Structure 1
Amino acid sequence: MARIASEALIERLAEWGVDTVFGLPGDGINGIMEGLRRHRDRVRFVLVHHEEAAAFMAAGYAKATGRIGVCLATSGPGGIHLLNGLYDAKLDHVPVLAITGMQETSVLGTGYQQEVHLDRLFADVAEYNMMITNPAQLPSLVDLAIRTAYARRGVAHLTLPNDLQVAAADADPYEHVAPARPPQTAPVYLQPPGIPRQEDIEWAADVLNKAERPAILVGQGALHARQEVLAVAETLGAPVVKTLPGKAVLPDDSPYTTGGIGLLGTRPSEELMEETDVLFMVGTNFPYSKFLPEPGKARVVQFEADPVRAGARIATDVPVVCDAKEGLAALLPLLTPRDDSAHLAKYQKMMAKWRSDMRSLENPDRDPIAPQYAISVVDDLATDDAILTCDSGTIATWAARHWTIRGAREFYLSGTLASMANGLPYAIAMQHAYPDRQVIAYVGDGGFAMLMAEFLTAVQHRLPIKVIVNNNNSLGQILWEQMVLGYPEHGVRFAAPEADFSAWARSCGGFGAKVSKAVDVAPAVREALQHDGPALVDVDVNPNEPPMPGKVSYDQAKSFAQAFLKGQPHRAAIASTLFKDRIQRLGD
């Protein structure tokens, strides 16, 4: 059997350590599928039901493992469908390789069926973007694509015309210039050194040692630096704020953390940002600058791996380019231990009150079911090394505040893109990567409905993922955002009949339970977690539970009131829920 160019592609992927490709076949990639078939002992092909899910799976795989995620789609519409998941990888800075098909080279430019020049379409999303025009380019371009994805923490894209896919692997029809041939040894990506310059570390230490009210803000770039973050926090007596992608940097019961930041964050974190005189940003490029200190009110030190992003988000006194772990290790010997613990103690007291308030909202006696209670049950019953994936929407608020990082737990969501529908594909990819760990997708009804066919994918691949649907029969986050603008809600609640996603789960051959009473939440979740296979619990939660910010501003309260005065259609139910929340906090 003659060796085809697609085999050279798959063989090189395998040599890079790629063991899984997520995708959906089509006539634009039949040659690549044959390459995968011939090398199925080295690279596993995971058949999905929608290309968007394949791209999300590649992004989720990369987020959880640190290794490149790979997705495959056919020409035209198949490649177009990849874009949302690829932008998730781009904006959250994880390495992903997208491989797509293209029409035969002889018909390009003629308006042939499904002729979409994906290399042009992907120009914004991809750091490396190339159409293969000669089999001799393989495997060198595979090497360049993967190295670029790793180096720039983003997306690489290769598109292969149909005729090249099945051409002889050693074909070189032009033979004008000798093609670049990579060495026969296994390819390797050389990680750039993460040690900062000594003068930068000394500069940072000088600013931090003079801080009277220091604060540390950590993100996903510090996920591998837990011990170093704790050591610096202890030395400086500094509270630590966590971005949502960086939620797993520190345990949520750590005496040093004030929890999250922004609309989904805590009141102590918001007040800390208002009070701090020196902010130390580690492994984060937190985009919502309105939640950071006002310009001129605090000095800023930033440890950032990317020279482009260092100092780009907020006026920064000391931008340092380094790996978070290596940078903090170099910094520690230069820091002066703080004798006065009053600053840290103040925020520890505030966090104790905040945690008490959050526990009070986890009330099993509420009807309809409080979403805070539903996620608290998952939090209580999940293992200490569980991975939770989360969609965007109100569920991100509940997960931020009621999913507790302890032990080796992890947490992933679409951070900067904030896309819906990523939670289920993430869970599938991460269960492939970690077959022995508990992986839970915490999703909303809106996001789950978008890619719900992938639950069938989990069943077909015998992946024991668990899915918890926070079902408020609405687009809950948009509902509250409309009201915060001062407008009554419009077009955000789904009409009858309400979805029963548990029926879909059972029809796929998985476990499915529908829950509408709080007393049934814990038994259903426990049974799902113990089920030997894919399981789904569809929980009907209170659609009128507002995801209130940690600290409500005057403008937010004013707009909320204006929405009521203008005819908010569910104002009585919302007012009742707010009243119950307030009573619950006071009664704790």
Structure 2
Amino acid sequence: MSERLVADVIVDRLKAWNVQRVFGYSGDGINTVLGAMRRSGDPEFIQVRHEENAAFMAVGHAKYTGGVGVVMSTQGPGAIHLLNGLYDARLDGVPVVAIVGQQSRSVLGSSYMQEVDLMNLTRDVASAFRQQVNSPEQVPLVLDRAFKKALATGTPAVVIIPHDVQQAPAPELEQEHGILNTAPVFRPARTQPGEADVQAAADLINSGQKVALLVGQGARHARAQVHALAEKIGAGITTSLLGKPYVDETAPLAAGTMGHLGTASAGYVLDNCDTLLIIGSNDPWTEFYPTPGSARAVQIDRDASAIGNRYPVEVGITSDAGPALDALIPLLEAKPDTPWRGKVEASVRRWHELARVRAMTDADPVNPERVVWELNKRLPDNAQVAVDVGSSVYWYARQLQLPEGVPAHLSSTLASMGCSVPYGLAAKLAAPDRPVVALSGDGAMQMAGVSELITLSRLWQQWEDPRFVLCVLNNRELAEVTWEQREMEGDPRFEDSQSLPDFKYAEYAKLLGLESIRVEDPELLGEAWDVALAAKRPFLIEVVTDPAVPLLPPFPAGAAQAQTMKDGLAQEGAAGEHSRRLLDTYLAQEEGLYDDL
């Protein structure tokens, strides 16, 4: 084909935006663009098993690289399948561009095969930018605006391209009325703090005696400043789940992740502080913030509309975290040795010991906390980590301390199961010279992960470092929901909804040409991790874990919820006896942990 088509213009524009790979699945609604990609040879097309996973991969690419993730699908069912991943991007604040095919313009409105109103379908998820291209001349400007809006707002943008527009001859954009020539250029804004706001924040923080930090993903480029501030004033450092990778959790003042799945030390720090500094966080676990009125608060966020959304702050600083902290730190009074600092450090030490004790608590057959505790001693300094949604997130938040420079990502705010393998693949494709470690429960694997192991088996031979270690916690149970039923509803476990088939993950991996091992003895976990991390091809560790290990919120919330859990377990009779014993053990381990501080 010698004539250039609109589809070729689309591919050229993707290259102009430095798009290196597009995740997706083929179909007649997008085939003309795929043909142009074949002719061009660039960008790379990553074929997945399901469009939802393609969208997750695009989100993962954006999270691990800091760039724009691009996903492509056909019309109708392909477009509908994208929604879950696009909402993941929207809720976690990352830029994704979705290019979606559509039936030809001549049949729209006729209830044609696979005809879906894509503008209405994506109205909410892509509220910042969604546009159907109705003429060849629109293509460059719509794509440019989609990328710019996604980058500027950290949200998904959707471009809908009817099939006949893709097939049209490439336009010559003359300078005339009704024609726009745009440029594929974007430079992010850098917000600087106002002097009066910084001074007001310093005055408030200096008046406090027990300062806590809540650090979110907005501090990703301010790791050093966060720790310098904490050291200067003896502040306890807590993080949101999204902020966890951006602090040094080995530091004496680092209390860990807050919230229902967080650490006891983070609970102690937030429950006892009198001053709170929120840095780049919009974490929704508001019941784990200080009680309103018990702590005065300052918030730093580049998005002015986010300030005061989660807690009644007195001072807001609209700025990137780094410049704001650079301006704030010199104005703070040094308090290197205070009673509060001593209590924070003591709470952190006690938490680390409690985490170790819990990892070593006997279970039937393996305590899932120990799986991640053993990884914590072995995680490579250049690894990339992907975590799925479910009980595995609890063990990641509580047991894994990430080395500096090791990214870890998951579907946090949407909390959608099935993200770990797609995220891990995106991370590996973006940095094939770095090992990937993915943590998943069996529910998430059965929802999406098993199918994308086929994609993994297809791609790994091209990677410079072939290590992709996937650990599946196989407890034959939707454990997080089971414990939520007990905790939130006072209900017993519901067998029909909670029990999962005992799929042979390790055996299936071997069928795909991957290496694997099944572990049922906790004493063999360390060796399994060592073997997997030294393997010359992707490796699946299937660990048979105990669903009875409780997902207990940190105290004092954990103690408050324990009775409701017991009410639910009481209705299970003999079947719940093992879970009751483990719950009592966990409660006893934490009881009185901080009473003397």
User: TM-score scaled by structure 2?
Assistant: 0.94
The answer to whether the aligner puts 1:519 opposite 2:516 as a matched pair is no
C-alpha deviation, 1:420, in angstroms: 0.5
Residue 434 of structure 2: SS of its match in structure 1?
A: coil
1:217 to 209, 214, 218: 214
Given that 1:424 and 1:454 are in contact with CA atoms closer than 8 Å, whether structure 2 keeps it comes out as yes
The alpha-carbon deviation at position 361 of structure 1 amounts to: 2.0
Equivalence map 1:242-261=2 (5 Å): 242-261=239-258
CA distance, structure 1, for counterparts of residue 290 and residue 500 of structure 2: 45
Deviation at 1:363, TM superposition (A): 2.1
Q: Name 1:358's counterpart in structure 2.
A: 355
Quote the residue 2:402 is aligned against: 405
Is the Cα–Cα contact under 8 Å of residues 201 and 331 in structure 1 kept in the other structure? yes
Indicate yes or no: 2:105 matched with 1:105: yes
| Equivalent pair of 2:477/2:500 in contact (CA under 8 Å) | no
1:492 and 1:8 mapped to 2: Cα distance? 52
Q: Which amino acid aligns with 1:303?
A: I
Q: Quick one: distance in 2 between partners of 1:119 and 1:387?
A: 36
- What is residue 95 of structure 2 aligned with on the other side? 95
Q: Which amino acid is 1:197 matched to? A: G
- State the alpha-carbon separation in 2 of the partners of residues 323 and 69 from structure 1: 23
Mapped contact 1:392–1:420 kept (Cα < 8 A)? yes
Residue identity in the other structure for 1:521: L
Amino acid at match of 1:356: E
Q: Deviations over 1:321-363 (max 9, x none)?
A: 1111121112122222125422111110111011011111222
Alpha carbons of structure 1 residues 93 and 5: separation in structure 2 relative to 1, 3 Å: same
For 1:66-105, list aligned pairs within 5 A: 66-105=66-105
Aligned counterparts of 1:403 and 1:356: Cα–Cα separation in 2 = 14
Q: Is the 8 A contact 1:360 1:585 kept in 2?
A: no
- What 5-or-longer segments of structure 1 have no aligned partner? none
CA distance in 1, matches of 2:546, 2:154: 39
CA distance in 2, matches of 1:3, 1:516: 59
1:498-509 equivalences under 5 Å are: 498-509=502-513
- For 1:82, the aligned partner's letter is L
Give the Cα separation in 2 of the matches to 1:493 and 1:540: 20
- What is aligned with 1:46? 46
Query: After alignment, is 90-99 or 496-505 more displaced?
Result: 496-505
Number of paired residues? Answer: 582
Query: Any runs of at least 4 consecutive aligned residues in structure 1 with deviations exceeding 6 A, and if so which?
Result: 582-586
CA displacement 1:523-568 (0-9 Å, x = unmatched): 3322222222222111100111112111154541221221133335
8 Å Cα contact 1:29/1:73 also seen in 2? yes
Aligned counterparts of 2:47 and 2:21: Cα–Cα separation in 1: 11
Distance 1:444 1:72, change over 3 A: same
* CA shift for structure 1 position 497: 5.2
Out of 505-514 and 467-476, give the one that drifted further: 505-514
Q: Secondary structure at the match of 2:377?
A: helix
Aligned ranges for residues 212-291 of structure 1 at < 5 Å? 212-291=209-288
Describe how 1:131-530 pairs up with structure 2 within 5 A. 131-170=132-171, 177-183=177-183, 187-363=184-360, 366-451=363-448, 452-462=450-460, 464=466, 465-484=468-487, 485-491=489-495, 498-530=502-534
Residues 135 and 171 in structure 1, CA contact (< 8 A), matched pair in contact too? no
Deviation at 1:492, TM superposition (A): 6.3
Partner Cα distance (1:565, 1:470) in 2: 26
Deviation at 1:425, TM superposition (A): 0.4
1:378 is displaced (CA, Å) by 2.1
Q: Secondary structure at the match of 2:306?
A: coil
* In 1, Cα distance between equivalents of 2:73 and 2:26: 7
Q: Which stretch of structure 1 is more off in the superposition, 445-454 or 305-314?
A: 305-314
Provide, for residues 428-477 of structure 1, a one-character-per-residue CA deviation record: whole Å limited to 9, x for no partner: 00001111111111000000111111111011111532110011111000
1:569 CA drift (Å)? 5.9
Structure 2 distance, partners of 1:568, 1:167, is: 69
Separation in 2 of the partners of 1:309 and 1:584? 38
Q: Which residue of 2 aligns with 1:577?
A: 582
Query: Using a 3 Å threshold, how does the CA distance of structure 1 residues 337 and 471 change in structure 2: closer, same or farther?
Result: same
C-alpha displacement of 1:267: 1.8
Distance 1:540 1:478 in 2: 18
- Within 1, Cα distance between the matches of 2:496 and 2:140? 49
Greater shift, 8-17 or 54-63, is seen at 8-17
Does the CA contact (< 8 Å) of 1:367 and 1:518 recur in 2? no
Moved more, 370-379 or 495-504: 495-504
In structure 1, give the amino acid aligned to 2:164: D
Q: Residue 553 of structure 2 aligns to a residue in which SS?
A: coil
State the 1:424 CA deviation: 0.8
CA displacement at 1:489 relative to structure 2: 1.1
Which stretch shows the higher mean deviation, 162-171 or 72-81?
A: 162-171
Match of 1:35 in 2: 36
What displacement does 1:403 show? 1.1
Does the aligned pair in 2 maintain the 1:219–1:282 contact within 8 Å?
Answer: yes
Query: Kindly tell me: are residues 585 and 482 of structure 1, through their superposed partners in 2, closer, same or farther at Cα, counting changes over 3 Å?
Result: closer
Q: The residue matched to 1:308 in structure 2 has which SS?
A: helix
In the TM superposition, residue 518 of structure 1 has moved relative to its aligned partner by 1.9
Instruction: Give, as a single letter, the amino acid of the residue that structure 1 aligns with 2:179.
Output: P
Q: CA deviation at 1:583?
A: 7.6
Q: Tell me by how many angstroms 1:39 deviates.
A: 2.0
Using the TM superposition, name which of 497-506 and 18-27 deviates more.
Answer: 497-506
CA distance in 2, matches of 1:258, 1:520: 30
> Aligned equivalents of 2:27 and 2:229: distance in 1?
52
Cα deviation for residue 176 of structure 1 reads 8.8
Partner-residue secondary structure (3-state), 1:440: strand
Q: Is 2:562 the partner of 1:557? A: yes
* Alpha-carbon distance in structure 2 between the residues aligned to 1:299 and 1:66: 33
Contact 2:417 2:444 in 1 (8 A): yes
TM-score normalized by structure 1?
0.95
Distance (Å, rounded) in 2 between the aligned partners of 1:204 and 1:63 = 30
Q: Which moved more, 1:520-529 or 1:142-151?
A: 520-529
Q: In structure 1, the residue corresponding to 2:221 is in which secondary structure?
A: coil
- 1:120: which partner in 2? 120
Question: Against the structure 1 CA distance between its residues 289 and 343, is the aligned structure 2 distance closer, same or farther, given a 3 Å change threshold?
Answer: same
| Alignment RMSD (CA, Å) | 2.1
From the superposition, tell whether residues 250 and 299 of structure 1 become closer, same or farther in structure 2 (CA, over 3 Å).
Answer: same
Point out the more displaced range, 254-263 or 483-492: 483-492
In structure 2, what is the Cα distance between the partners aligned to 1:300 and 1:210? 11
Instruction: Report the secondary structure of 2:429's partner residue.
Output: helix
Unaligned runs of 5+ in 2: none
Aligned to 1:534: 538
**SS state at 1:221 partner:** helix
Specify the code of the residue in structure 1 equivalent to 2:67: R
2:268–2:347: 8 Å Cα contact kept in structure 1?
Answer: no
Aligned-residue sequence identity (percent) comes to 35
Amino acid at match of 1:537: I
CA shift for structure 1 position 493: 6.5
Residues 58 and 492 (structure 1), Cα distance of their counterparts in 2 relative to 1, 3 Å cut? farther
Is the Cα–Cα contact under 8 Å of residues 511 and 534 in structure 1 kept in the other structure?
yes
Contact residue 478 and residue 492 of structure 1 kept, 8 A: no
Q: Secondary structure at the match of 1:125?
A: coil
Letter paired with 1:140: L
Q: Quick one: which amino acid aligns to residue 77 of structure 1?
A: P
**Cα distance in 2 between the residues matched to 1:166 and 1:408:** 45
